[in-house]
Structure 1
Amino acid sequence: MRLAIVRQKYNPAGGAERFVSRALTALSATGSVEVSLIARRWETLEGIRALKADPFYLGNVWRDWGFALAARRLWERAGFDLVQSHERIPGCHVYRAGDGVHRHWLALRRRTLTAAGRWALALNPYHAYVQWAERRMFLHPNLKRVICNSRMVQTELEQYFGLPAHKSVVIYNGVDTVRFHPSLRALHRQAQRQALRVPEEAALLVYVGSGFERKGVARALQALVAAPQAWLVVVGHDKHAGRYQGLAESLGVAGRVRFAGAQKDVRPFYGMADAFILPTLYDPFPNVCVEALACGLPVFTTVQCGAAELIRDDENGWICDALDVTKLGTQVARWSQSRADWPRLAEAARATAEPLTLEAMAEALLDCYRTLL
């Protein structure tokens, strides 16, 4: 089977990119698929043929539109059996909806904006282009299947585009359950806490991700106000990171917060933590949640996050509405004061992630491709 996977560029901190790299490696390892990658730039992946689509552009509309045209020309010329796109490109055979539904994201984004902000959002040409490309792709006759990374996204596709149930399948993100393991605690907890000046006995939350505004760093900081025993380490890059450091100061929690910046290897930070927090406004299914679960960390997240489908309150984590900071603070405070429950929570978190291996993900993808062919 000759399969092409399309993704525009590689960002080491990006969850979607990490999924594609994992999927490419896992599929190639099966020996039954010849995998090629169409991208502007990517990391080197052994055994993967890379096709470069990097036309000149100015601005984000031209960037996405130009890449879509160049990628489609490449796959049509090569004659692949299947083309799986991770970008909104009309004409692909399989689309992995890892970025969710843009129309739904905009609807949620409007909840947080002033009237002026909502007008600016409506007039932004990039959002208009993405919605146009999204609709054309979902209604294109070439589209055979949409791979959803959560039932949440599957429901959104039915709601906004009337996509028939037989055209979509839910395949959760896989995780390397050997590399992401509760044993990281013994390896990294003491040294990493000393390096960041976090007390050994502190109830420590870790956040991992870029895009602080959407993924709720401000809400995580606000939750600390109600939980004076809790500390927070923020791992990730954001051009407005200084703004969040200022917010921590104004809330009076800066002494219990550490901003670690972007990291190539996030495992030591999972190892130093007691729980994971991602109060995101919208996230189809973030890799970081399943990585944290695999490391034995209970997860605080929101009903607007696809990974909430794996979370059971007070069993392996907690969920609340993205904008309900009061409830989030109450949940964090209760957790930080209930240390006797931590071993039970850690065991349940790990058990949740154990079936979600990379091998299981690759086999589910292969089953999908075999069905289509």
Structure 2
Amino acid sequence: MTRSVTILKSHFTKNGGAEKYARCLADAFHQKGCHVTVLTTGPIDTPFSFEVISHRLKSKTSVSKVWEFEAFCDQYLKKHPSDIVFGMDRNRSQTHLRAGSGSHKAYLEHRKSYESSWKRFRHMINPLHTTLLHMEKTGFEHPDLKVLFTNSNLVKEEILSHFVIDPKKITVIHNGVQWHEWQESFDTWEKDSSHFEFLFIGSDFHRKGLIPLLKGLRQLSERDFHLSIVGSDKNQKHFQHLAQKYGLQKQITFCGAQSDIRPFLQRADCLVIPSFYDPFANVTVEALAMGLFVVSSKTNGGCEVLTPETGCTIEDLKNMTPALEIALKHPKTRQRALLIRESVKHLDFSTQLNTYLDTCLLPTS
């Protein structure tokens, strides 16, 4: 009997990681012989091998768009019940849910560590935040929810601490990486500098922890290093000023947003992820697949895949220097890079995708 699968994803055709994951998941269900329908919004310019139904939003504000998409999904599912309703956003009702962005409640809690009391107050009264918190709580605690997927144990534990949910419903599947597809890029890496190359990737420099990284670099006794910063931030001039203030301006390059990060991964020795909060930063496994030593904060769920041979965690973001000193002892060599890359072979994207399918398509009783 053909199983019906309805995937809820408000944005489906954009180029982000979550959108790509949704498209791959939909195609994988389709390849398994399921009847797949995707409910989304916005223009659909590319033909798909499965059904995509897009709702044209009439709302103007962010919060009203959330409610309009929720109503659209609810109305459709009442008319077209599905064996599997797979949520990939924050809808109130689904049978399976991937909390790829973690818990919004936990995210707001983590923001308190680096934001002013005024901003925290604004979050409390912001209707978008209150709506997302309501959607999240209802979705996580809904009796129809069979499986809640998280991409790290960090997110799992945060959900269990904030919500009433049976732990048995939660399945942790770490983010995957295009391990096989990136083989050629790995084989052709070549360092073009005698310096130790640190790499920082991400936008929203504040949340991603660029300030503690700059402070940590300033305190290093070893000065023969360079840091490439890949990503954009509306306050970039502020961070450039900080780099100058700390005497690091000649050792740092702001590279802006990049469509392909592989050339930067090829040139680097170490990726640093000092995030105040990341459910699971994709760049963690991408860097490992390219043979880089990774330094990560404990509040990046991706740190769960690190070993002493492949990376280290930052014990205290207020003092990053010890972790950076460990990294300096692990420059990229062919032998070390091969060992690091091999550590995430089991996280190949296709393997992780099949784990989702196997869990969702278990025989029904």
| TM-score of the superposed pair, with normalisation by structure 2 | 0.88
Residues 1:67 and 2:58 are matched in the alignment: no
Residue identity in the other structure for 1:346: A
- Alignment partner, residue 349 of structure 2: 358
Range 103-112 or range 43-52, more displaced: 43-52
Q: Secondary structure of the residue that 1:258 maps to in structure 2?
A: strand
- Alignment partner, residue 294 of structure 2: 299
- 1:116-195 matched pairs, under 5 angstroms: 116-181=118-183, 183-184=184-185, 187=188, 189=190
Range 245-254 or range 89-98, more displaced: 245-254
Q: 1:79 aligns with which of 81, 84, 89?
A: 81
Residues 1:333 and 2:325 are matched in the alignment: yes
Q: Secondary structure of the residue that 2:362 maps to in structure 1?
A: helix
Q: 1:345 to 1:219 in 2, by over 3 A?
A: farther
CA contact (8 A) 1:229 1:333 kept: no
CA distance in 1, matches of 2:16, 2:200: 14
Deviation digits for residues 258-300 of structure 1, max 9, x if unmatched? 2222222222221121111111111111221111111111211
Deviation at 1:48, TM superposition (A): 3.9
CA distance in 1, matches of 2:247, 2:56: 47
- Alignment partner, residue 316 of structure 1: 310
CA distance in 2, matches of 1:100, 1:350: 26
Residue identity in the other structure for 2:38: L
CA contact (8 A) 1:151 1:306 kept: yes
- 1:337-352 matched pairs, under 5 angstroms: 337-339=329-331, 342=333, 345-352=336-343
Residues 1:93 and 2:87 are matched in the alignment: no
- Alignment partner, residue 32 of structure 2: 31
CA distance in 1, matches of 2:128, 2:4: 33
Deviation at 1:342, TM superposition (A): 5.0
CA distance in 2, matches of 1:12, 1:332: 35
- Alignment partner, residue 248 of structure 1: 243
RMSD value over aligned CA atoms?
A: 2.5
CA contact (8 A) 1:15 1:286 kept: no
Q: Which runs of 5+ in 1 are unaligned?
A: 194-199
Q: 2:285 aligns with which of 274, 280, 290?
A: 290
Higher-helix-fraction structure: 1
Residue identity in the other structure for 1:318: C
Q: 1:215 aligns with which of 208, 212, 233?
A: 208
CA contact (8 A) 1:8 1:38 kept: yes
Q: 1:163 to 1:204 in 2, by over 3 A?
A: same
Between the two proteins, the alignment pairs up a number of residues equal to: 359
Residues 1:206 and 2:199 are matched in the alignment: yes
- Alignment partner, residue 218 of structure 2: 225
Deviation at 1:324, TM superposition (A): 1.9
Residue identity in the other structure for 1:126: L
Q: 1:45 to 1:286 in 2, by over 3 A?
A: farther
- Alignment partner, residue 197 of structure 1: none
Deviation at 1:348, TM superposition (A): 3.6
- Alignment partner, residue 17 of structure 1: 19
Range 97-106 or range 36-45, more displaced: 36-45
- Alignment partner, residue 238 of structure 1: 233
**What is the percent sequence identity of the aligned residues?**
26
Deviation at 1:27, TM superposition (A): 4.2
Q: 1:255 to 1:154 in 2, by over 3 A?
A: same
